Amino acid sequence: MTLQNTLENMLIGTTGTYGVAVKHLQTGESASINGNEPFQTASACKVAILAALFCEAAEGRLNLAERIRLTKDDRVPGSGVFQLFDPGVEVSLKDLATLMIIVSDNLATDKVLEFVSKEKVNALTKRLGLKRTYLEHNIWELLSIYVGLSPKGNNDDTYQELDELLEAVLDGSASSIFDMTIKNNISTPNEMNELLRSIAMHEAAASEACEQMIQILSSQQFGHRLPYMLPEGARAANKTGTIGGAINDVGLIYLPDNKGTIAISVLTKNIESKIEAERKIAELGLAAYNYFAR
């Protein structure tokens, strides 16, 4: 059975819409389902932010060792740990980038974007030939729009309001963040795979910078999607993303016995069961691994 047939058969009977792209980086063999369709990236957008940061650092415009003092007004609700810290903690720019990826820290993401800018992220994706990948909103803005708020400035009152609404929202499927336009954070499975490939093959930035990015992605703490069913000891470097009915994971999977590396991106929309989607993403990761490792 071909890889394409395998992927198609695995999605029979699923709810919602899945976009899947799988590519063996050394041979070029690939398969995709809805590979050129745009999806809301959610926190998978943080891979592009990471790449833009390391490009800026590699070219001498930013210093990853610079220490940043976090204040109360930097807090962003949702995933992460920094919003639980006492105000005044100082961390390096690289620390922020690491937590942005490995625990999907939202505060860290928006703080990194203060240094990098959305414009630099979009310039990078354009340079890499990604024509349907855009970053329009930081995480504070994304979450605010999702729950129906205007993205006002951060303070105690607005933070509390946003945090409470995120806890209460039952169905945000009508939110404008799910409009697949350049005025949103969107990408396609094929383009997310190309971004991953450019990092893995040391084309997104200088070689050392790409290796540092891979090291951070390999330290991912959320292993309940793409890596979940992989054999013990298998290495993955991935980034999840979740908002409403968008349950995503994108990453690199390293094959045993020098058989190469797989890029795999699974983006979804209109998912009804998060648990079902997470299991399906794990099954897709294992199927791709088994196909190329056999």
Section 204-219 average pLDDT = 98
218's tokens: 């390999």
pLDDT: which is higher, 221 or 157: 221
Give 294's pLDDT tier (boundaries 50, 70, 90).
Answer: confident
pTM across the whole model: 0.97
What length is written for the chain?
294
Domains of the chain: 16-293 (3.40.710.10)
Distances in whole angstroms, Cα of residue 171 to Cα of each of 25, 146, 245 = 38, 10, 9
Q: Which residues contact 168 (CB under 8 A, 6 or more apart)?
A: none
State the pLDDT at residue 5: 97
Q: What amino acid occupies position 120? A: K
223's tokens: 């292993």
Residue 170 has pLDDT above 80, yes or no: no
8 A C-beta contact, residue 9 and residue 287: no
Section 193-209 average pLDDT = 98
260's tokens: 């190469």
Please work out, in degrees rounded to the nearest 5, the angle formed at the alpha carbon of residue 163 by the alpha carbons of 78 and 106: 25
Section 135-152 average pLDDT = 94
Q: Which residues contact 167 (CB under 8 A, 6 or more apart)?
A: none
β-sheet bridge partners, residue 18: 268
State the pLDDT at residue 165: 93
Evaluated on CA atoms 198, 199, 204, 210, the torsion sign reads negative
How does pLDDT run across 57-90, given as a tens digit for each residue?
A: 999 999 999 999 999 999 999 999 999 999 999 9
CA distance 260 to 232: 18
How does pLDDT run across 87-122, given as a tens digit for each residue?
A: 999 999 999 999 999 999 999 999 999 999 999 999
Residue 5 neighbours by CB distance under 10 Å:
10
How does pLDDT run across 218-242, given as a tens digit for each residue?
A: 999 999 999 999 999 999 999 999 9
CA distance 100 to 111: 10
State the pLDDT at residue 197: 98
14's tokens: 């699923």
Supply the DSSP symbol for 134: B
Give 169's pLDDT tier (boundaries 50, 70, 90).
Answer: confident
Q: What amino acid occupies position 18? A: Y
CA distance 129 to 205: 14
Q: Which of 258, 213, 261 is closest to 239 using CA atoms? A: 213
Residue 155 neighbours by CB distance under 10 Å:
11
8 A C-beta contact, residue 78 and residue 143: yes
